[in-house]
Amino acid sequence: MGLFIAQLLTGLANAGALFMVASGLSLIFGVTRIVNFAHGSFYMLGAYIGYTLMQVLPGAVGFWGAILLAGIAVGVIGMLVEILVLRPIYRAPELFQLVATFGVILVVQDLALMVWGPDDLLGPRAPGLRGVVRIMGEPIPKYDIALLVITPFVALALWYLITKTRVGILVRAATQDREMVGALGVNQAWLFTGVFALGCALAGLGGALQLPKGGADLLMDFNILTAVFVVVVIGGMGSLPGAYLAAVIISVLNVFGVTYLPQSTLVLMFVVMVLVLMVRPYGLFGREEVAGEHGQVGEPERPIKPAGLQVRLLVAAGVAALAALPLFGSNFTQVLATDILIFCLFAASLHFLLGLGGMVSFGHAAYFGGGAYVAALLVTHADTPMELAFLLAPIGAGMAAIIIGWICLRLTGVYFAMLTLAFAQLLWSLVFQWGEVTGGDDGLLSIWPAPWLSGTTAYYYFALVLSVGGILFLRHVAHSPFGYALRAARDSERQAEATGIDTRRVRMFAFAFAGMMAGLAGGLFVFSKGSIFPNELEITRSFDALIVVFLGGVKTLSGGIVGGAFFKGVEDMLTRYEYWRLAMGLLIIFVVIVAPDGIVGTLRKLAERAGLLRRAEDET
């Protein structure tokens, strides 16, 4: 009984930081509709800044003052990010802003590395709260008790701010209909900036508060991000009580999980999330999202058309050039080109889902890594010949996509995105923690292609044929009746239904098909590297693909491919330098601001303006 209580209290104490970070994310999303991927980075900054301040400021006042100041400092940084990075792109297509926040993640990672160095920092103990108290014989750190007391006060203050003050009323009104709030004389720009700064300050506060428990390290941004997304989704987007309850559930569950099911701590969180969403699709306290209710009307879609003769010739020339590569390129160039080709196929499969199907998946790595693991497991445990294992990679990934899609497609919008992310993380944690079968963190090694493909050039041609073939197949499907149905379902679900299209079925097929193609890319990947590690399933891999698709241009067919080639090429050039993340992050932010339609979309607009291409208006 004593142990039980002790664990419950520890769980509740852990919930504090999680709640603060999650409520910040939830607030930001509610008002600005920005899914702030960088939220974990602000949490990390809070920890680092708090650490430094605690070194400088003395005593108990210094300790608590440092926490408060860290929160304020992170709030100010968040304000700068909002004004400099996000404000110029509010009018960009929905969700485009998350690309910019991803750039912020990279920048913050390298800045933290520069300032605080690569070593983990041990958080200082809180003055006067160093020991433990015994509750029913069990030791409980005094600091945990302090957190237990502080968190409800922060929650209450937030609740008061949101429900009782004019600012809170405006925030809630803007969550519902921000255009109308503007038309009533409220300057939305400052409301957005204020909410963003507040959300970031909460994240920073959370980061500084957990210092005595967890310290500060360079991985804490991504480590908390998934947990925060899970909390926000379980609680319901935009709901403070929901975030609090969910943070408590997740934290308590984690503490018990560590004791009783140490092998499944990571999986547990996602299992809970899936269960909650199956019963309550919009979270415990969430409200149904209605598309377009927030007064955002984007530019009308321009229909995509099959490529004209010019483009076909250009593509043929490109493929011919790629085919000739081994004649003059080095071994290294071929390996790099193989990487790029595989990545382009992966990105194109996500683009198919996102651009044509309107389904934003945050967890597309599940099918890429999934396909790779299917092949690797077959080779490792069943001595399957490479050809067969390779063939089963897309099939396995497709099957996973069918199961996951069947559950996720009950939801739409951000909830759909979050649920796909949860499943990807579920798969990742399974692979990571089920060491006996998957090798865990050590991965699976010696997954080599069959002898006839073992040469670099032979495998390059193999990858070239299958990637280009896969991409052309994706394009072909886009222009088939199925592709029309998919686009119809994206643009107007009701009208599509009324014309006899079973939109759910169409989406299911598209989801499975995109998963299969990602699995194909994964199969190509594993045999090109000869090994596979859990990081191919990671959230960062999913984000890479997402960034690439947005950077390339969601509304253009070639967006995924151009973005993929650009991203991989630049990454290869930059990773040779020490602070490549900083450069990459700044580059992403730069591209996002100057090319809000993506690379392809913006190039096309420029070409139209210069008179090189006919305007879409002239053709109608």
Q: Output the six-digit token pair for 164.
A: 């009782």
Q: From CA 325, how far away is CA 335, in angstroms rounded?
A: 11
Is 183 an interacting residue with respect to other proteins (CB under 8 A)? yes
Shortest Cβ distance from residue 26 to other proteins (Å)? 15
Q: Output the six-digit token pair for 194.
A: 């204020």
Q: Quick one: 505 or 609, whose CB is closer to other proteins?
A: 609
Shortest Cβ distance from residue 177 to other proteins (Å)? 6
Shortest Cβ distance from residue 308 to other proteins (Å)? 21
CB 94, CB 296: distance < 8 Å: yes
Applying CB under 8 A, the span of 186-194, 225-233, 331-339, 549-557 interacting with other proteins comes to 186-194
Pairing of strands 132-135, 138-141: antiparallel
Q: Quick one: 295 or 569, whose CB is closer to other proteins?
A: 295
Binding map of other proteins across residues 142-181, x = CB under 8 A, - = no contact: ------------------------x--xx-xx-xxx-xxx
Shortest Cβ distance from residue 619 to other proteins (Å)? 10
Q: Quick one: 174 or 565, whose CB is closer to other proteins?
A: 174
* Closest to 155 (Cα-Cα) out of 284, 17, 36: 17
Residue choice 55, 187, 454, 492 for contact with other proteins (CB under 8 A): 187
* Residues ≥6 apart with Cβ < 8 Å to 565: 340, 344
Q: Quick one: 223 or 296, whose CB is closer to other proteins?
A: 296
Type of residue found at 460? Y
CB 193, CB 80: distance < 8 Å: no
Is 119 an interacting residue with respect to other proteins (CB under 8 A)? no
Torsion angle of the four alpha carbons 82, 84, 86, 88, in this order, in degrees rounded to the nearest 10: 140
Taking CB under 8 A as the criterion, which residues in 430-449 touch other proteins?
none
**Intra-chain end-to-end CA distance of the chain, in Å:** 75
Shortest Cβ distance from residue 491 to other proteins (Å)? 14
Applying CB under 8 A, the span of 5-13, 80-88, 182-190, 489-497 interacting with other proteins comes to 182-190
Is 576 an interacting residue with respect to other proteins (CB under 8 A)? no
Taking CB under 8 A as the criterion, which residues in 275-294 touch other proteins?
287
Binding map of other proteins across residues 296-335, x = CB under 8 A, - = no contact: ---xx-----------------------------------
Q: State the number of binding residues for other proteins (CB under 8 A).
A: 25
Is 620 an interacting residue with respect to other proteins (CB under 8 A)? yes
Is 194 an interacting residue with respect to other proteins (CB under 8 A)? no
Residue choice 186, 253, 307, 587 for contact with other proteins (CB under 8 A): 186
Q: Quick one: 119 or 299, whose CB is closer to other proteins?
A: 299
DSSP string over 214-248: H-B-TTHHHHHHHHHHHHHHHH-TT-HHHHHHHHH
How far is residue 430 from each of residues 222, 381, 440, 443, 445, measured CA to CA in Å?
18, 17, 9, 13, 18
Q: From CA 561, how far away is CA 311, in angstroms rounded?
A: 14
Q: Quick one: 383 or 619, whose CB is closer to other proteins?
A: 619
Shortest Cβ distance from residue 442 to other proteins (Å)? 50
Q: Quick one: 301 or 572, whose CB is closer to other proteins?
A: 301
Q: Quick one: 181 or 208, whose CB is closer to other proteins?
A: 181
The length of the chain is 620
Shortest Cβ distance from residue 258 to other proteins (Å)? 39
Give me Rg for the CA atoms of the chain: 25
Q: Quick one: 185 or 611, whose CB is closer to other proteins?
A: 185
Is 505 an interacting residue with respect to other proteins (CB under 8 A)? no
Q: From CA 616, how far away is CA 603, in angstroms rounded?
A: 14
Q: Quick count: other Cβ atoms within 10 Å of Cβ 587?
A: 17
* Closest to 444 (Cα-Cα) out of 519, 537, 364: 537
Shortest Cβ distance from residue 297 to other proteins (Å)? 8
CB 401, CB 395: distance < 8 Å: no
Applying CB under 8 A, the span of 336-344, 565-573, 585-593, 612-620 interacting with other proteins comes to 612-620
Shortest Cβ distance from residue 172 to other proteins (Å)? 6
How far is residue 29 from each of residues 25, 200, 231, 485, measured CA to CA in Å?
6, 12, 14, 31
Is 182 an interacting residue with respect to other proteins (CB under 8 A)? yes
Shortest Cβ distance from residue 452 to other proteins (Å)? 54
DSSP string over 335-378: HHHHHHHHHHHHHHHHHIIIIIT----S-THHHHHHHHHHHHHH
Q: Quick one: 165 or 263, whose CB is closer to other proteins?
A: 165
Question: Which CB contacts under 8 angstroms, 24+ apart, belong to 616-619?
Answer: 616/302
Name the 3-class secondary structure at 196. Answer: helix
Binding residues for other proteins, rule: CB under 8 A, are 166, 169-170, 172-173, 175-177, 179-189, 287, 299-300, 616-617, 620
